[in-house]
Each structure stands twice: as structure tokens, then as C-alpha cells.
Amino acid sequence: MTTQKSHKLLMIPGPIEFEPAVLAALAEPTPSHVAPDFIEVFGRVLDNLRTVFQAPDGQPFVLAGSGTLAMEAAVANLLEAGDRVLQINTGYFSDRMAAICERSGAIITQVRAPAIGDVPALEEIQMALQQDHYTLMTITHVDTSTGVLTDVQTLAQMARSAHTLSVVDGVCSVGGEALPMAEWDVDVALTASQKALGVPPGLAIVMARPRALALFQGRTQPVASYYADWSNWLPIMQAYQSRKPAYFGTPPVNLVLALDVSLAQIIAEGMDARVARHIRLSEAVKAALTALGLGQAPARPAVAAHTLSAPYFPEGVDGAALLAKINAAGVVLAGGLHPAIRARYFRIGHMGAVSGADILAAVSAIEQGLRDVGYQFDAGSGLAAAQRVIEG
């Protein structure tokens, strides 16, 4: 068993470091999925998800699965063969969403960012919306491959004006970035447990607001996926919401117990305070990277996510060697993911229960690693820059 001392600080863009109370829920004796106490917990989880997604009129779906299942469940229930989808493409996970939409027989139009690290031009999106009618606009809130943040508020508004429903992949944003669903009039947002919601991998979570449910209810063809079909899950979610037993597929009981603990922590912190903490800690990491002379994948601060950072390796530094040295210094960071720049950059996750002390530990390990691979820099400059931001 890993001891506290041998445990390395996990700072990748999911899974993340989890709170001890969340992990303890996984070791609880597993109750029946229809035991009154568990029904109360699952019902409360569904209620609290509305608070965290800031969608009082939303219908949550909690399924056993990863974020990719949440993506598939969201669009498979809304699309029918021949429907058109406008996709705002900002990287690797946008490409995945396109592949998922294609499986439903939809016709995809993509608007791509002019370069890696950037977002598509709004004029181009507006032009596409004028040329055709789209059933859905899909948006990746934070593309975890590049650390690019999209302007969901503006995009959702553009979709609304064109009578198109907005579907937001919030796997790397919900619980970390601002995403007030009802206020921004986002129709569907989805996430997975292991990112900013702070629960080990295994839960796919979708929040559907009334227009999305109405579109689903008006379908003429059956949903191609049996497991993800909301016809199967809607009665189950509604039963738990009204504290009644129901069964379609066995819920991942202990993960739901863990989510209950994490959601209570998130709500106790408050959504605004939580987002503000993510912004401050992200700025601390980015200030440190700049002080150390490392460039970043996002084209400019306005399109940079607050849940992760994506720095380039310095010129002449062997990236794999650097990451190994950082790991030896006690911090686990992630390599590149976007195929076009994979070997040239790395990724630092800073979401969920992350603290100022974690940020300083990560920056310290990065400095140690840079020293070990012979990179010339002003020792301590990264730490000082991060500390200045953390202390405000």
C-alpha cells in the first residue's frame, strides 16, 4: 500500500488528488442500491448537481462510465440520422466529439481554430450559423490537450439566436471554471467525476435543461445506444429525486457515496469562491512558468484555462528526461496529448482540492527538474513569482 510519505503529488489534468473524506466513502460497506439511506444519498447528489451546474431547471443523469460516455450519452439522445451539428473545434477532445456525433448519423460542420492554442473566430461561426440550420452546437469548454478555454457564454448565445441547442463538454471545467448553465442558457453540459468534481474515475455526469429534454422527447427514431438511452435512465433519476426505489442498471454505489461527500465540500466552498481559487492558483502557475522562461500552448491569457496549464519544454531540453526528474522530485505531471505538438510540451493539472502549497510543491519540483537537465535559469524565480500571486 502507498503510504503518505511515498505518495507523489498527482498534478495531471485528471485524475487529480482527492480529499481523504471522498476516498473514505469508497471504503464504506456497499449498501443496496435501493436501501432507503442510499436512495436519500443519490437523491441529494442529484439535487446538489443542480447547484454545482447552476441549473435549477436541469435534469441530471449520473451513469457508470468515463467522460467519453457522458459525451456520447449527451449527443446520442439528441441527434437523429441526418441532423446537422456545428462543432467548435479547439483540439483533441473536439475531434473526439465529432467522431461521436458521426456515429449517430449526423452531418458535422467544423469551425476550427486558426492555430493550435487558439479558438475559432466568432465571425466564422456566425457565417456557418447563417448558412445552415444545426440541431446542436458542440463546444469544448476547456480542451485538455492544449489548455485552451472557449467563451461558452458568447457561443451559447449565438447558438440560441440560431435556434440551435448548445452542448458543452465541461469534463475539464465543471467545478473549476465558471459555467453558470441557466444564466448563460447552455442546454447541455457534461463532465466526469475524476476532474474538477474531485471523485475517482467512474462517473459520467450529464445535465440537460428543458429544451434538450423536449428535443429528446420529440425524437422519431430510437436512441442507437441501449445503455445510454435516456428512456431507460430518466425514470430512474426521477425516482431517486423523489426518494423512491428504481432499477435499470446497478449504479456505482460507492462512487455515488463519494460524489455526495465531494459535492457537499464544493457547495460549502461556494461556486464563486471555488472559481476564484482556480483562477488565482492558475495565475500563480502561469506566472512561475513565465518567470522560468517557458512558453505556453494557449495563444494568450484570455484563451487560457484555469484548470490546467500547458507549457512548452524549453529549447534544447529533453522533455521525457525533464518529466522523469520532476517525478523523482515527487510530483507527477502529464506529457503532451495533442498529436501535432505532443513531444514539445507538458501539462500541469490544478483543479479540485488543489491548494497554494500544492502549487508551490509543483513549481519547486519543476525548478529541480530543470536544474537536473542542465537548463539555465534564475533559481527560485518561479517559486517567487508563484508565491507573489498566491499571497495576492
Residues within the interface to ligand PLP (CB under 6 A): 14, 66-68, 93, 140, 142, 144, 169, 171-172, 192
Residue ranges of the alpha helices (H) in the chain? 20-26, 36-52, 67-76, 92-103, 122-131, 152-161, 181-184, 210-217, 230-241, 253-269, 271-291, 319-328, 356-372, 381-391
Question: Which of 256, 273, 351 lies closest to 60 in space, CA to CA?
Answer: 256
- Phi, psi (5° rounding) for residue 253? -50, -50
Give the nearest distance from C-beta 375 to ligand PLP in angstroms. 29
- Cβ proximity to ligand PLP: between 151 and 372 the closer is 151
Give the nearest distance from C-beta 172 to ligand PLP in angstroms. 3
Give the nearest distance from C-beta 119 to ligand PLP in angstroms. 14
Give the nearest distance from C-beta 208 to ligand PLP in angstroms. 17
- Cβ proximity to ligand PLP: between 59 and 140 the closer is 140
Contact 167, 140 (CB under 8 A): no
- Cβ proximity to ligand PLP: between 174 and 284 the closer is 174
Residue type, 318: D
- Cβ proximity to ligand PLP: between 60 and 369 the closer is 60
- Cβ proximity to ligand PLP: between 146 and 296 the closer is 146
- Cβ proximity to ligand PLP: between 43 and 91 the closer is 91
* CA quadruple 86, 92, 95, 100: dihedral, nearest 10: -110
**Measured distance CA(238)–CA(235) in Å, rounded:** 5
- Cβ proximity to ligand PLP: between 149 and 383 the closer is 149
- 3-class secondary structure per residue, 242-291: CCCCCCCCCCCHHHHHHHHHHHHHHHHHCHHHHHHHHHHHHHHHHHHHHH
Give the nearest distance from C-beta 363 to ligand PLP in angstroms. 23
Supply the angle between the helices 253-269 and 36-52 in degrees, to the nearest 10.
40
Give the nearest distance from C-beta 307 to ligand PLP in angstroms. 9
* Chain centroid offset of residue 343 CA: 23
Give the nearest distance from C-beta 372 to ligand PLP in angstroms. 30
